[in-house]
Structure formats: structure tokens, C-alpha cells
Amino acid sequence: MSSRRARSRQSTSSSRITDEQINDLVSKLQAVLPEAHIRGAERVSAAKVLQETCNYIRSLHREVDDLSERLTELLATTEASSAQAAIIRSLLM
Amino acid sequence: MQVRNSFKLALLKQMLLGFQLSAVSSNSMSVPERKNAIKLSADAAMVFARGSTRWTRGLVAGLSENSNNEDLLRGILGKKYERLSLPCRSSWKIPRSRKILKRCLGLCSRRKKATATQHDVKSGSTLARRLVKKRIQVLKKLLPGGESMAGFSLLDQTLDYAVSLKAQVDIMRRLLKISKASNLNK
């Protein structure tokens, strides 16, 4: 299959990814970033979107790490966590 | 772009399951062990909720590298574990998408040169292209399984991953809040 791809340098329009699709994706990424509600519809350069996306993902990783640490302290006691599990289960049912 | 409520619910349920399975509440665990179990539960739960996509497979592959994680991974993912561990068939996205991506992202910056430019005309677009290339390299390292992705897939999966991560953070925050509240009531 990969040889077929290598041979067909001129791809058919059906499998070609358009600039528009990529632009659309960059817009969607921009919309997900935390600054989105400040910026509104103003378009930012793709390089900026990529940079902010990297920063955003890194900050989310840090948050998960921090939250894990705080949960670690809280869930330390047997009594506490089984009660929490019961509460949450009741919320889910 | 947002996740569905069903996603968040599944995430929460599986995460709690993970806590139970790894017995985070037992006093026999050290603090770092407990934190690892919590993080692993959170990640495995996120994978479960999302299902099969390139970054979830990448994440499972990464987490599986540590053999200690296998039991908890299987416990949370169940049947999905085997499916997610299968080698990924190469994407249908053609390799040329990488070129198109770079050209397009470079092009976007070139169009903007008319409005705001500190650099001269010639170096402006090359600089932009180099920046984009650099950032794509960073992104590949941040995204689970990103090293094997390129072009359109990379961006598409990044969007998907960012949205799922945000949901994971939201659920963990809420869990923390509930846990604190229930502790105070004791």
C-alpha cells in the first residue's frame, strides 16, 4: 500500500487534504485555547496557535500532576475515600 | 469543541474504579505510589472514555512500558486494553499532507506580512516556516504517539487530545472539591 502511495505523486482530489481543511483545523485549535474568549473571532497566525497549543497542553499536564498530588493527600485515609466513593456513586446512579 | 457528558461520566467512573483497584486508600501505599496510581487511573480512564484513536493508543503504549502498570491498566480498560494495544495500521492520510501542512501554515504567515511585519519581506516567510516547523516538533513530543504522526493527523489528534485533557482536569477538580467537602463534614 505504501508503494502505491509513493508511486502516485499526483494524488486524486478525493484523498488530498486541502489548505482549507488545515486552516479550519487551526481555527478549531485556536477556539479551544484559553485566550479564545478574549480574542473572539480575530485570527491569529498559525505559528502562534501552535505555540499556544504547546503551552496549553503543557499547562494541562502540570494541572493533572498538581491535582493528583492534592488528591493523594486527601485520599490518604481509608475512612475518607470509601465515604467519597459512596457519595460519588450515589451521584452517578 | 467540547466533550460529551457521557465522556466525563465514563472518565469519572473508571477513575474511581482505578482508585478502588489500586487501593489508594490503604495505608500500605507510599505517597509517590499513591500519586502514581491516581495519575494512572486518571489517564486510563481518559483512554477508556475516548476509545480508540491514535493518541489513546500512543498513551496506552507509553503507560504499558512500565510493567507495574499492567494490572491497573487491564482493570480499568478491560477488553479495550487488547484492542488498544494492537499495532496501529498506518493512517490513510497521504505523506504529502506534511508538505501541504507546512506550505499552508507558512502561507498563512506570508499573507499576514502585509499587515504586521518587523522583518523584511524575504526573511519573514522563511522565519515563519521555521517557527512552525519548530513548534510542530515540540507538539510531536507533547502528544502521546505524536512521533509517528505528521501533517493533518497531528493537528487533528492534538485538538482531540487537548479537549480530552481539559475534561480530565475538570473531572479531577470536581472530584477534589467533593472530596474536600465530604472531609469537612466528618
Per-residue pLDDT 10s for chain B (186 aa) are 888 999 999 999 999 999 989 887 777 788 899 999 999 999 999 999 999 999 999 999 999 999 999 999 999 999 999 999 887 665 554 455 566 666 666 655 455 444 444 444 546 778 888 888 999 999 999 999 999 998 899 999 999 999 999 999 999 999 998 888 777 665
Pull the grid cell for residue A85.
466513593
Closest by Cα among A13, A45, A17 to A30: A45
- How far off is chain A from B159, nearest CA to CA, in Å? 6
Span A26-55, pLDDT tens digits: 999 999 999 887 877 788 888 899 999 999
Supply the DSSP symbol for B93: S
pLDDT grade for A87, boundaries at 50, 70 and 90: low
The confidence band for A77, taking pLDDT boundaries of 50, 70 and 90, is low
Facing A63 at nearest CB: one of B93, B163, B169 = B169
Neighbours of A14 (CB within 10 A): 5
Q: How far is CA B183 from CA A81, B27, B114, in A?
A: 9, 17, 59
Plot region of A45 (φ>0 → left; ψ -120 to 50 → alpha; else → beta): beta
pLDDT of residue A8: 44
CA distance B9 to chain A (A): 8
Give me the residues of A, 43-62, that contact B with CB < 8 A: 45-47, 50-51, 53-54, 56-58, 60-61
pLDDT at A13: 47
Q: Indicate the pTM of the whole model.
A: 0.79
Interchain CB distance below 8 Å, A28 and B175: no
pLDDT score of B59:
97
Query: Could you tell me the CA-to-CA distances from B127 to A44, A86, B9, B133 in Å, in that order?
Result: 16, 56, 44, 10
pLDDT score of B104: 66
Q: What is the mean pLDDT of residues A81-86?
A: 64
Please report the pLDDT score of residue B98 as a whole number.
Answer: 62
Our CA-based measurement puts residue B10 at a distance from the nearest CA of chain A, in whole angstroms, of 10
Residue A62 exposed, middle or buried by CB count within 10 Å (0-12, 13-18, 19+): exposed
Grid cell listed for B171: 473531572
pLDDT at B119: 47
pLDDT band at A9 (very low <50, low <70, confident <90, very high): very low
* Cell, residue A70: 492534592
- Alpha carbon B31 to chain centroid distance? 25
pLDDT of residue A11: 43
